[in-house]
Amino acid sequence: MSFLFDGLHVNQFNNYGSYNIKNEAILKIIFQDGSTQNMRFNININGEKLRILVMRHLGLIDNEYFGLMYETKPKSNKWIWLQKKKKIKKFITKDSSVFTVKFGIQFYPLVPHLVAEWLGRRILFMDIVENIKNGYWHVDNKNISLELIALTCKVYDPVLIRDCSVDSIKKNSEKYGKLLMEKFDIIHCDILEVAMNFDHLLQRSNKRKRSGGTTNSFQNINKDILIAEYLKVVSKLQWYGSSICNINQNKNLENNQYIYANHKGLSFVNSSQELLVSVQWNKIRKIERNSNIIKIFYTDNDNITKISFEQNDLEVKNYFYVLNCLKTHVDIWNKKIKDDEIEFLQKLAQLSNNTSGNKNNRRNISLRQSLGNSFRNSIRGRISVFRRHFSFNKKSPSSESVNFVCV
């Protein structure tokens, strides 16, 4: 049974009638839980059109965070992001009618629990749980650690605590939260107590069960409710949503250096999680890749500063792709906010120009106040998100060129 697709209906967009059969192939999509989906497609399309077809096939409207990876060589287990403009037929051998891709996350949404579809949230959950399990994201708060472990246990056994086995809590907590349990001296009783606090989220679905719902259907409802709560909690982490790259060529160094890329910008840290350099996206002017070297140019006190680092070919290609996707997303998001503000100011100016008579004045003043309150509330909401996700309480970057290249 597939964790991702259990209880969900995957839309089948079989609009392939206009394609030539000789130009068609089978696309095999592999997901994190090992499940697969197959669909037919025209080999003459490019990477971005194939990605869009896959998202339609899965019914994912909120899909900009997801992408496809292909294997560099058969059975090499080395996967690289599928470039948007590359023609798919270049990757298909003459004696093969199947093109295999792996479904992945290009970058993480700023507010993950608001992703539109349950399938999208499940995909995010599975990926994030692995990040936490492997210590990929640094967690420095015991209470948040307890909540994440407890919610993970409940997602994989989505019933009220009184109906689940203690063995299940113990097994899942050791499987997914061992590192955090050792770090904060967490015991199974602590997890059980916190897990009980989330039972109130499941009351509604359990009422449906008593009114005639099937066990499988109410467990899927429970699972999705708990996943949404998990995504709310995990987004509080300082390094939530970070794509991380070890920028030391010598992986045996005691003090490795890493780059964290997320909605805040780029952060360079050492193994002790001490921040070396932080750069917000609006300061970044250009990101370049030259062979195995990535160069990042940003402004600091009206000076252009360069940071460069080197990695192996596969990792550099994948990380460069992720950086560009994330920067494009943030730029579009910021532009939309500015456009909304300009539109509001234009409406306000139009109201001021159209005032005539006391009656109209009173009506326009009232309308301006209403628009103003709405705009201020919108800005307050955005500012609260920005403060949490876009602010740095760290030392400022140096204005000199910084090279993170180890020989």
Question: What's the rounded mean pLDDT across residues 274-287?
Answer: 92
* 179 pLDDT higher than 70: yes
**Beta-sheet strands, E only, within 272-339:** 275-280, 284-290, 293-300, 303-310
193-205 average pLDDT score? 83
Q: Comparing 250 with 271, which gets the higher pLDDT?
A: 271
Q: What is the average pLDDT across 371-398?
A: 50
* Res 314 pLDDT > 90: yes
pLDDT at 100: 95
Summarize pLDDT for 347-375 with one digit per residue, the tens.
Answer: 777 777 765 555 455 555 555 556 556 65
Q: Is the pLDDT of residue 97 over 60?
A: yes
Nearest-angstrom CA–CA distance, 95 and 76: 18
385 has pLDDT over 70: no
The predicted structure's pLDDT at residue 387: 47
Average pLDDT, the chain: 83
Q: What integer is the mean pLDDT of 279-286?
A: 93
CATH tag for 243-321 (out of 2.30.29.30, 2.40.50.140, 3.40.50.300, 3.30.460.80): 2.30.29.30
Q: Which carries the bigger pLDDT value, residue 241 or residue 247?
A: 241
* Spans of all domains in the chain: 21-105, 112-236, 243-321
Contact predicate 302/309, CB 8 Å: no
pLDDT for position 384: 54
The model's pTM is: 0.82
Under the banding of pLDDT at 50, 70 and 90, the label for residue 213 is low
Centre a 10 Å sphere on the Cβ of residue 55 and count the other Cβ atoms it contains.
21
Per-residue H/E/C for 35-80: CEEEEEEECCCEHHHHHHHHHHHHCCCCCCCEEEEEECCCCCCCEE
CATH number for the 21-105 domain, one of 3.40.50.970, 3.10.20.90, 3.90.1150.10, 3.40.50.1370? 3.10.20.90
Note the pLDDT tens digit of each residue in 14-59: 444 444 477 899 999 999 999 999 999 999 999 999 999 999 999 9
Amino acid symbol at 99: F
**Residue 27 contacts residue 54 (beta carbons within 8 Å):** yes
Residue showing tokens 């948040």 = 144
